[in-house]
Amino acid sequence: MELIGYFLAVVIGLVMGLIGGGGSILSVPIFVYIFGFDSITATTLSLFVVGATSLVGSSGFMKQKLIDFPTAFIFGVPSILGVLFSRRLIVPNLPEYIINKWGMSINKDMFLLLLFAILMLVSSVKMIRKTERPFGRKENGNNYTILVSQGLLVGIITGLIGAGGGFLIVPALVMLIGLPMKRAVATSLFIISMNSLLGFLSSMKAVSADWTFLAVFTSLSIVGIFIGIAAAKKIDGRKLKPIFGWIVLVMGLLIIVTEIFFKQQITI
């Protein structure tokens, strides 16, 4: 099973290189269901893997001058505030049982995984559904105000469930300010690297990380992102999104079914 997990580490990077997100959508379930980590540890390790992989990937885009740094910081600063809010205030203060009455019992681990699965379902719909790209760059105050609020939302999600938020960032950059797809992917990776690594640093004391395991897993993911970036020059990531969207949809449903029915942690 662990060999499958290490192979999927390469897939994580591959997906991130192709479509500018999706790393955490795969990494959290891998850490929980293949390597057996609890949800808090899994989301924390996911932040490191996704952050480090994104940072290395975005460095390649820096050389190509594809990252829109002003937009990255307009989106990124509120995201950082959202990450700090989640990792410092929300996650440490979550009770052991979120719901424990009316014949229903949902503990903290299960709550975070179900929340993550819901994000997977929302992300899958965004990837499956075809939307038209706007033409031209839309630079106005209203769009940038929305961009700031989106950044704050993505940061809160990143800190809470270890998701880099690429599936929220890329559509926002394309639809709100008209960034071309490749620039949106490059800028997204840079934003994800800032959010995820900060989220990891802010909560690393709360978990005990096996640094050897983390280094191997992250290295394989970095190999994958280089493959993905190279493939992205020949393959349009938008054509792959619907396929990956269906995979994410199935995975999200499997997590919900597993947590509710097979782990028997909810009793009604």
Q: Give the per-residue pLDDT at 235.
A: 72
- Closest by CA position to 195, among listed 143, 226, 150, 146: 150
pLDDT at 136 over 50: no
CA gap 28, 23 in Å, rounded: 9
Q: How far is CA 254 from CA 43, 95, 114, 259, 262, in A?
A: 18, 25, 11, 8, 10
pLDDT at 54 over 50: yes
Least confident span in 52-61, 71-80, 154-163, 211-220: 154-163
Q: Where do the domains of the chain lie?
A: 2-262
Least confident span in 109-118, 231-240, 247-256: 231-240
- Closest by CA position to 200, among listed 37, 41, 81, 12: 41
Phi-psi map region of 179: left, alpha, beta (phi>0 left; psi -120 to 50 alpha): beta
**Residues 142/183, Cβ–Cβ less than 8 Å:** no
Structure confidence by residue, pLDDT tens digits, 98-131: 776 766 677 777 887 788 788 778 777 877 776 5
Structure confidence by residue, pLDDT tens digits, 23-46: 777 788 889 889 988 877 888 888
- Closest by CA position to 95, among listed 110, 80, 82: 110
- Closest by CA position to 265, among listed 145, 97, 54, 102: 97
> How many whole angstroms from its chain centre is CA 107?
23
